[in-house]
Structure 1
Amino acid sequence: MKIGAHTSIAGGVSNAVEEQLEYDGNCGQIFSHSPQVWQDPSIEESEAAAFRERSAEADVEPWVIHSSYLVNLCTPKDDLREKSIDSMQQEVEAADRLGVEYVNVHLGAHTGAGVEQGLDNAASALDELDVPEDVTVLVESDAGSGTKLGGEFDHLAGILERSDQDIGICLDTAHLFAAGYDLSTPDAVAETVDEFAEQVGLDALECLHLNDSKHACGTNKDEHAHLGEGEIGAEGIAAVVNHPNLRELPFVLETPTEDGRGFAWNVDRARELREDWS
């Protein structure tokens, strides 16, 4: 089972591998810089080499770089669009230097431009990127609040249809649930996966963010919970990690650190739910 957590690059990007091993993870996700400011990744080649070598030695892969929270591909504002494109270009180049397979991004918000125009804006922004051959941009599903796009499978399908890039999809279980896609029972998981397969296509699905939700289905509230401890629950999370069309994908945790439990507890929990099902 490919299961890991979002880890820190503080003190050097290779430290993210050591932190992942502390959690007993074997894949993972990082930020290349602080996600709340406009900042280019500052990773020396020696650091990148150490990260590549340590990941290979420990067999920790694949890795995902999560883009800045400021990126808004859907925006109708020219200045924000250019900053978003530049930020994403820096991210895919950092991924290439690090040997990281994926760069994950949210579509952002259309802020009144409308869904169709927002999707057009996002696709054309993605098409301006010069993505290295061994890197894939993943568009992440969203919780669906306000004018943010990505909360509906139609939005994800629309990006794939519009863009000339070879884009993949990352589904976040908490976001799906918040957006109204039920995952709380095996039947609900099967129905949601079937709907995704029909509207978007399973070939596009490359990764899952595995998170429980502190809020009910369809509330558009994005607050993550420990696996099996939230509104999705143990039965739903178990159905996700064991679904035949999902179980071979990498699962990346963005679960909280609270109640004396953190990523290590959730990595163990995911494996338990996989084994219990078997």
Structure 2
Amino acid sequence: MNVGAHVSISGSRVSSDTATPEYNDIRNAVDRQLAFGGNCGQIFTTSPQVWQQPEISDEAAQGFRELTAEKLEGPWVIHSAYLVNLCTPKDDLRQKSIDSMQAELDAADKLGIPYVNVHLGAHTGAGVGGGLDNAAEVIDELDVPEDVQILVESDAGSGTKLGGEFDHLAGIIERTDEEIGICIDTAHTLVAGNDLTTPEAVDETIQRFDDVVGLEYLEYIHLNDSKHDIGTHKDEHALIGEGYIGEDGIAAIINHPELRDLPYALETPTEDGKGFEWNIAKVKELREN
């Protein structure tokens, strides 16, 4: 099973097998993933709360690629900055979003990471159609490296944010010329109004996703339980099996024949002494051979 966590790259090199450690060393991600028991996962290349370009030395990038190939099994994904808004009608925010996304795509290419994950963002008055048109124009303006794919993440769907409905995901696929993929966040999917609490509900939701979007576009899953119930549009993740999706729902997701071979990245909280290591172990416990 390809399962891991969203790990930090912060700090100097955790291990001492490099001549020139650097602050926020990308190689830290591999060490931390292994410590948690993961074999794939997700990273930020910079702080997600500010407009900042990734700074990755050639040595660190090469080391990251080598460590990943040697010690991990599944693919990494870069999560774009939270400030990025593909749907915005505002020219200045649009350009900042383009510049940030291009930097992340270039970083993914340098690191040998196949995916860059991004939220559609909020249309802020442009309307659903206008927001999706804006997002498609931004994506089409990017120079996407040959071995990198943009993944649009499903959203909790609050306010004017897009991505909470499967129609939004289908709409961006239809509008862009780029061959994008989809990343489903299980907590977001639940609170956006889709039942994932029982095997029967999971089957129905997956079938509806296939009918509207197409399972061939689904490349990655953010596996999170939710602290809020179906249709609340409240984005707050819970420990695996201890939220509203629950053990039955999580087990149904990770063992579903259409989903079981996909990579899973956890964005679960650290609570009650339970962190990523506990959550990954819980996922493996719920996995059927």
Say whether the fold is shared (TM-score over 0.5). yes
Matching residue's letter, 1:250: P
Matching residue's letter, 1:184: T
42, 45, 57: which one aligns with 1:44: 57
Gaps of 5+ in 2: 13-24
**Does residue 28 of structure 1 match 2:41?**
yes
* Partner in structure 2 of residue 111 of structure 1: 124
Matching residue's letter, 1:17: V
The TM-score, its normalising length taken from structure 2, stands at 0.95
**Does residue 157 of structure 1 match 2:135?**
no
Matching residue's letter, 1:262: G
> What secondary structure does 2:122 align onto?
coil
Root-mean-square deviation over aligned CA pairs: 0.6
Shift of 1:88: 0.2
> What secondary structure does 1:158 align onto?
helix
> What secondary structure does 2:110 align onto?
helix
Shift of 1:24: 0.8
* Partner in structure 2 of residue 68 of structure 1: 81
* Partner in structure 2 of residue 128 of structure 1: 141
Percent of matched pairs sharing the same residue: 68
The 8 Å contact of residues 17 and 60 in structure 1, kept in 2 or not, is answered as no
262, 267, 272: which one aligns with 1:249: 262
Shift of 1:61: 2.7
Aligned pairs for 1:60-99 (under 5 A) are: 60-99=73-112
* Partner in structure 1 of residue 275 of structure 2: 262
**Does residue 199 of structure 1 match 2:212?**
yes
192, 196, 204: which one aligns with 1:183: 196
> Which deviations, in whole Å up to 9, do the C-alpha atoms of 1:189-228 show, x marking residues without a partner?
0000000000000110000000000011100000000110
Shift of 1:60: 3.9
The TM-score, its normalising length taken from structure 1, stands at 0.98
Distance of 2:150 and 2:255 partners within structure 1: 25
Q: Which runs of 4+ in 1 moved over 2 A?
A: none
Matching residue's letter, 1:62: P
Distance of 1:247 and 1:191 partners within structure 2: 16
> What secondary structure does 2:177 align onto?
coil
159, 166, 172: which one aligns with 1:146: 159
* Partner in structure 2 of residue 5 of structure 1: 5
* Partner in structure 2 of residue 59 of structure 1: 72
Distance of 2:166 and 2:41 partners within structure 1: 25
Distance of 1:41 and 1:34 partners within structure 2: 9
Shift of 1:144: 0.3
Distance of 1:169 and 1:258 partners within structure 2: 29
